A and B are shown apart, each in its own frame.
Chain A
Amino acid sequence: MSAPGRVGIAGRLRQRYPLRSVLLGLAAPIGAILFALLASSVILSLGGHSPSNVFSTMLKQAERPTSFVDMVNQAMVYYLSAVAVSIGFRMNLFNIGVEGQYSLAAFGAAYVGGQLTGGGPFHVVIEVLVAMLVGAAWAGIAGLLKVTRGVSEVISTIMLNAIAVGLGSYLLHKLGKSSGNNIQTKPITGSGQVAGLSYSGTQAKIFGFLFVAIAVGVAYWFITGRTRFGFRIKATGLNEQAAVASGVNVKRMTLVAMLMSGAVAGLVGLPELLGQTHTFSQTAQSGLGFAGIAIALLGRNSPVGMALAAVLWSFLGKSANQLDFIGVPREIAAIMQGVILLSVVIAYELVRRYRLVLQQKDVAAQLAATPPPAPTNQAVTA
Chain B
Amino acid sequence: MSTATALPASPDAAPRRRGSRLSPPLLIAFALGAFLVLSAVRALTGGNDLTSSGTIAAGLSAAVPIGLAGLGGLWAERAGVVNIGLEGMMILGTWGCAYLGWDHGPWAGLLFGTLLGAAGGLVHAVATVTFGVDHIISGVAINIIAPGLALYLTKVTFAHYPGGGQKQSPPIDDAGSITLPFSHWLHTVEDKHWFAVSDLAGVLGGLVTRLSLVTLLAALVVLASAWILWRTAFGLRLRSCGEAPYAAESLGVNVYKYKYIAVIVSGALAGLGGAALAIAAHQFRDGQTGGRGFIGLAALIFGNWRPGALAAGAGLFGYTDAIQLRSSSAVHPLLLLMAIALVLVAIWQWRTGQRAIAVVAVVIAVLAVLWYVDTDRVPDELVGTTPYVVTILVLALASQRLRMPKADGKVYRRGEET
Contact = CB atoms under 8 A, between A and B. Distances in A.
B131 A346 contact: yes
A163 B144 contact: no
Nearest to A329: B155
Q: Place the interface of chain B in its size category.
A: 35 or more
Interface stretch (A66-74, A150-158, A263-271, A272-280): A150-158
Given A159-B298, A166-B385, A151 B395 contact: yes
Contacts of A145: 392, 395-396
Of A48, A96, A342, chain B has the most CB atoms within 10 Å of the CB of A342
Contacts of B144: 290, 294, 334, 337-338, 341
Contacts of A139: none
Contacts of B156: 47-48, 329
B381 A173 contact: yes
Given A337-B144, A339-B145, A43 B152 contact: yes
Interface stretch (B101-109, B135-143, B186-194): B135-143
A290 B140 contact: yes
B265 interface: no
A166 B152 contact: no
Nearest to A164: B385
A345 B298 contact: no
Interface string B378-397: 01011111011101100110
B367 to A, nearest CB: 15
A337 B146 CA distance: 11
Contacts of A329: 151-152, 155-156
Contact of A345 (B137, B151, B379): B137
B155 A331 contact: yes
30 contacts: A94-B136, A145-B392, A149-B399, A151-B395, A151-B399, A154-B82, A158-B294, A158-B297, A159-B388, A159-B389, A162-B291, A162-B387, A163-B392, A166-B384, A290-B144, A293-B137, A297-B137, A329-B151, A331-B149, A331-B152, A331-B155, A332-B148, A332-B152, A334-B149, A334-B152, A335-B149, A338-B144, A339-B145, A342-B145, A346-B133
Contacts of A96: 136, 140
Interface string A127-166: 0000000000000000001000111001110111011011
B132 interface: yes
B301 interface: yes
A322 interface: no
Interface in A276-315: 290, 293-294, 297
B132 A349 contact: yes
B155 A160 contact: no
A169 B381 CA distance: 6
B138 A342 contact: yes
A249 B127 CA distance: 34
Contacts of B82: 154
A167 interface: yes
A290 B395 contact: no
A170 B391 contact: no
A165 B147 CA distance: 19
B141 A350 contact: no
B348 to A, nearest CB: 16
Interface in A86-123: 94, 96
Given A162-B291, A166-B385, A334-B148, A150 B140 contact: no
Interface of B (DSSP majority class): helix
Contacts of B134: 345
Nearest first, the 5 A-B pairs at minimum CB distance are: A334-B148, A338-B145, A338-B144, A166-B385, A329-B155
Interface of A: 43, 47-48, 94, 96, 145, 149-151, 154-156, 158-160, 162-163, 165-167, 169-170, 173-174, 290, 293-294, 297, 329, 331-335, 337-339, 341-342, 345-346, 349-350
A290 B379 CA distance: 28
A282 to B, nearest CB: 11
A162 B148 contact: no
B141 A338 contact: yes
B388 A163 contact: yes
B395 A156 contact: yes
Contact of B392 (A156, A165, A350): A156
A167 B148 contact: no
B282 to A, nearest CB: 24
Given A48-B156, A162-B291, A349 B381 contact: no
B143 A345 contact: no
A155 B385 contact: no
Interface in B63-82: 82
A290 B143 contact: yes
Contacts of B301: 155
Nearest to B124: A342
Contacts of B388: 159-160, 162-163
Nearest to B82: A154
A151 to B, nearest CB: 5
Contacts of A339: 141, 145
B152 to A, nearest CB: 4
A349 B387 CA distance: 36
Given A162-B291, A331-B152, A332-B152, A294 B396 contact: no
A128 B230 CA distance: 53
B84 interface: yes
A158 B84 CA distance: 10
Given A149-B399, A163-B385, A349 B392 contact: no
A279 B166 CA distance: 30
A329 B151 CA distance: 8
Contact of B140 (A48, A294, A350): A294
A262 to B, nearest CB: 16
A342 B298 CA distance: 25
B141 A345 contact: yes
A173 B396 CA distance: 29
Interface in B225-280: none
B243 to A, nearest CB: 17
A165 B141 CA distance: 22
Interface in B289-307: 291, 294-295, 297-298, 301
Nearest to B411: A349
Given A329-B156, A334-B148, 18 more contacts: A43-B149, A47-B156, A149-B396, A151-B396, A151-B399, A158-B297, A163-B385, A167-B382, A173-B381, A293-B140, A294-B140, A331-B151, A334-B149, A338-B148, A341-B141, A342-B142, A346-B131, A349-B132
A74 B294 CA distance: 27
Nearest to B137: A345
A334 B396 contact: no
A155 B155 CA distance: 33
